[in-house]
Structure 1
């Protein structure tokens, strides 16, 4: 089977490494010629080009571009594809992508491998990035079952955990556990750096340890990705932010009123609730 990858960054590059190890023939497309050369030299792909026509022989194509470029890229890709080719994407927001692409290509399967690192670019690609992590597929009523099964089979070969859901349900869920943390973390960093006393700020910077490192990591990541989350999942992210603000107001009220019993109960509830999120078990 020939698999195409458009966008040879962290996700696209890691896909290439794993899929080639599974015996697939992998063809990559990148806007930059030097990225194409690097992808071939490092074994990420069998062949690469800056031209989408390279994917004319592809059976399945993964679109690994930034969210804003997914639909435009697919429009440019369609004239080069076989009518039976399957297209899937890796975007972290699904509703706007599925709504814009499904009418263009019947064999489109929305997807989101929930894996990544703080690094970006092809040089950050790594093997087994997807192993043990969720891989969400968001087919709709018109999505051909065979196309879904084919993408699922490939995702399973990556040793990922497969989940199926509606695009909107995906977006609501990730707004809570992925997009909201980015904004909360960004607010944390901004709150700390807004300290008006330079001596206190410097001391805080010197004392910052694992707690601050862990809670600030996603807020100090790729700004473009954060904007894309907010722009393309705006309504669901706002919904989550308002919910979070309500919870903050509750905590503020408990501290202002010195209601330590209520605060302790809330923290105890949080401790118990945290274990129900898969990444926090064990």
Structure 2
């Protein structure tokens, strides 16, 4: 199958590796000629160009650009595609994207692979990035079954775990487990940097180990991605942040009151709940 990838960063480049390894012919498009050349040199794509017309031959196109560019790029892309081409995206926000694209392209299915690292760009792409990871599809009542079947088959071939939901449900769910952690993690780093004693700050930086590394990782990642999460999933993220603030206030109150019994109970409860989210 000829598969197009628009946007050759971490996700697009990783898709290219896996799809090529399965024998698909992968066509890549990027805004930068240097990225196209690097993607071909690394073996992520068979051929790459800055010209969208390259994707006219693709049977399926994955749009792997930053969230803000998905709809504008689709608006340009459709002038190069036959009506039979199946288009999907990998954006971490779904409701506004699906709402804007469905009227423009009938063979569109919103998608979101829950995989990635704190690194970005074609150099960060890796083989088998999606194995064992959730991959969400957000079809609506107008999505053609033939198009769904094509995307489903590709996603399963990546070794990902396939899930389905409505775009709005997706955005509410990821606000809790993806977008909120970015903001909480970033605020943790900002709070630590607010230490007024330079000696204490330096000591904290020297002593920081696995606990700080784990909780600060997503807050120290791609700032552009974090900004777009807030812009495009604003209402769900605000709701999640308010819920988090309420729980943080509870912890503050328990510690202020030296209510160690209820604090222990709260910590025990959260410890029991964590395995429901991560293994």
The residue that corresponds to 1:265 in the other structure is: 265
2:28 counterpart SS class: strand
Shift of 1:200: 1.0
In structure 2, distance between residues paired with 1:232 and 1:12: 21
Shift of 1:56: 0.8
In structure 2, distance between residues paired with 1:118 and 1:251: 29
Structure 1 unmatched ranges of 5 or more? none
The residue that corresponds to 1:65 in the other structure is: 65
The residue that corresponds to 2:88 in the other structure is: 88
The residue that corresponds to 1:199 in the other structure is: 199
Shift of 1:38: 1.4
Shift of 1:145: 1.3
In structure 2, distance between residues paired with 1:83 and 1:230: 33
Report how many aligned residue pairs link the two structures: 279
Shift of 1:171: 0.4
The residue that corresponds to 2:134 in the other structure is: 134
In structure 1, distance between residues paired with 2:148 and 2:164: 10
The residue that corresponds to 2:28 in the other structure is: 28
Paired residues for 1:166-245 under 5 Å: 166-245=166-245
Shift of 1:33: 0.9
**Runs ≥4 residues deviating over 6 A:** none
Shift of 1:40: 1.4
Paired residues for 1:42-61 under 5 Å: 42-61=42-61
Shift of 1:46: 1.0
In structure 2, distance between residues paired with 1:219 and 1:227: 11
2:159 counterpart SS class: coil
In structure 2, distance between residues paired with 1:146 and 1:41: 34
Residue deviations 1:46-93, cap 9 Å, x none? 111100000111100000000000000001000110110000000000
In structure 1, distance between residues paired with 2:111 and 2:208: 37
Residue deviations 1:227-248, cap 9 Å, x none? 0000000000000000000000
In structure 2, distance between residues paired with 1:227 and 1:261: 39
The residue that corresponds to 2:16 in the other structure is: 16
In structure 2, distance between residues paired with 1:209 and 1:102: 46
Shift of 1:32: 0.9
User: Normalization by structure 2: what TM-score?
Assistant: 0.99
The residue that corresponds to 1:153 in the other structure is: 153
Shift of 1:199: 1.1
1:110 counterpart SS class: strand
1:275 counterpart SS class: helix
CA RMSD of aligned residues (A): 0.6
2:135 counterpart SS class: strand
Shift of 1:153: 0.5
In structure 2, distance between residues paired with 1:198 and 1:47: 52
The residue that corresponds to 1:106 in the other structure is: 106
